[in-house]
């Protein structure tokens, strides 16, 4: 072999070679073929076998090193992907549980705190308490909006005029709920609230022509039986409290039915064409303040609040403020829970949530309960859960 030999005319189909303008050239000087031929030409004093052996050994080492680096890099990336999947998987699993617990705790706590304020402290100004709680809700929402944590629709006079009928019912619902809780124990309030579901179903049938299945009507019949038997066996029966609660059921059902009709009109009057939960919380609570002031002056509650001794107790204000914050927390936790689950799960958990509320109400406030009344309460709780299940089918 001569060192004058030229490599331009070598024909090869190895992928290590590249074609530029139709001319075959060597793509990489580190290729195995190139090293063998270059060694033959430049080092004529060495044997062909030794040169080829060295070249093969060098190429093998380089390829092994590249393979190890790629494998290590792939292992690291796979490890990172597995960690990310594990974190997201944990969030998906824990989200519904945490949001459900937050919703149940805030709901139970608010009812218990309102009962403490109205009964344990003997505060006889339910409208004033509602005004204070709604004022706290408005202040908190405005602060959260200023810090960019939540977003709300801008209130306009057209939107306010459309929403006024709903808000008047909303105020009546809150006031009657306050007074019924003052006179009736929590367990019976919970059972009597089932009547709201019956009134709402009847309203949907006549207003929206929405028919319910046989299971739903059976569940409503069971709720009526539990409410009647509970009232008959209630050892602490109070006619005034039961009257307030029946009024509350009528207004709550009316609020639900009216809200559905007004929502579509209200959305058309907003800039975004929608009305989120936070905007409804702000709208309802802000519009309720003038109505509350009017009712406080009309019924003379301001004189009672000014003269009663309980308002001079710091602990009273702590409990009243906490109940107001929990009222707002219910709105946010319900949104969170709905976002993590579904309306079906939300409805079922709401029905199951009545069980710990009823038990806590009986135990914490030393409510006298007979065996027949206890059976009526448990029967009513079962009817509520059965109703939620029937609505799913």
- For the segment 61-76, what is each residue's pLDDT rounded down to a tens digit? 554 455 555 444 555 4
pLDDT of the residue at 97: 81
pLDDT at 232 over 80: yes
CA separation for the pair 377, 381 (Å, rounded): 6
CA distances from 88 to 95, 101, 262, 319, 366 (A): 10, 20, 39, 38, 45
CA separation for the pair 187, 334 (Å, rounded): 22
pLDDT of the residue at 87: 47
Residue 309 class from Cβ within 10 Å (0-12 exposed, 13-18 middle, 19+ buried)? exposed
The ranges assigned to domains in the chain are 1-87, 102-392
pLDDT of the residue at 374: 86
pLDDT of the residue at 3: 41
pLDDT in tens, 314-342: 999 999 999 889 988 887 887 677 677 76
Nearest to 152 by CA among 11, 287, 270, 2: 270
| Ranges 147-161, 252-266, 349-363: which has the least confidence | 349-363
CA dihedral 91, 97, 98, 100 (to 10 degrees): 140
């Amino acid at each position: 072999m001569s060192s004058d030999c030229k490599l331009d005319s070598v024909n090869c189909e190895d992928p290590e070679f590249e074609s530029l303008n139709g001319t075959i050239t060597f793509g990489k000087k580190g290729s195995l073929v190139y090293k063998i031929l270059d060694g033959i030409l430049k080092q004529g004093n060495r044997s062909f076998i030794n040169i080829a052996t060295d070249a093969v050994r060098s190429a093998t080492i380089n390829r092994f090193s590249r393979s190890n680096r790629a494998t290590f890099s792939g292992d690291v990336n796979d490890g990172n992907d597995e960690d990310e999947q594990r974190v997201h998987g944990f969030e998906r699993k824990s989200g519904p549980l945490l949001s459900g617990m937050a919703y149940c705790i805030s709901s139970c706590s608010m009812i218990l705190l309102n009962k403490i304020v109205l009964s344990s402290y003997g505060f006889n100004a339910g409208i004033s308490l509602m005004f204070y709680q709604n004022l706290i809700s408005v202040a908190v929402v405005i602060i959260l909006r200023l810090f960019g944590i939540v977003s709300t629709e801008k209130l306009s006079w057209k939107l306010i005029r459309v929403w006024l009928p709903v808000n008047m019912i909303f105020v009546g619902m809150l006031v009657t709920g306050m007074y019924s809780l003052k006179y009736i124990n929590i367990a019976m309030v919970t059972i009597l609230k089932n009547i709201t579901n019956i009134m709402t179903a009847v309203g949907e049938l006549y207003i929206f022509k929405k028919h319910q299945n046989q299971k739903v009507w059976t569940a409503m019949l069971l709720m009526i039986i539990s409410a009647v038997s509970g009232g008959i066996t209630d050892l602490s029966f109070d006619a005034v409290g039961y009257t307030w609660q029946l009024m509350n059921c009528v207004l709550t059902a009316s609020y639900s039915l009216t809200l559905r009709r007004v929502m579509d009109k209200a959305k058309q009057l907003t800039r975004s064409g929608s009305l989120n939960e936070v905007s409804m919380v702000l709208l309802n609570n802000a519009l309720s303040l003038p109505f509350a002031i009017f009712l406080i002056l009309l019924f003379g509650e301001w004189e009672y609040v000014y003269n009663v001794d309980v308002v001079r107790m710091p602990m009273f204000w702590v409990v009243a403020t906490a109940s107001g914050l929990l009222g707002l927390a219910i709105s946010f936790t319900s949104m969170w829970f709905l976002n993590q689950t579904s309306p079906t799960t939300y409805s079922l958990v709401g029905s199951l949530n009545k069980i710990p509320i009823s038990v806590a109400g009986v135990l914490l406030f030393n409510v006298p309960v007979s065996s027949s009344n206890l059976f009526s309460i448990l029967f009513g709780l079962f009817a509520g859960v059965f109703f939620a299940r029937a609505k799913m089918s």
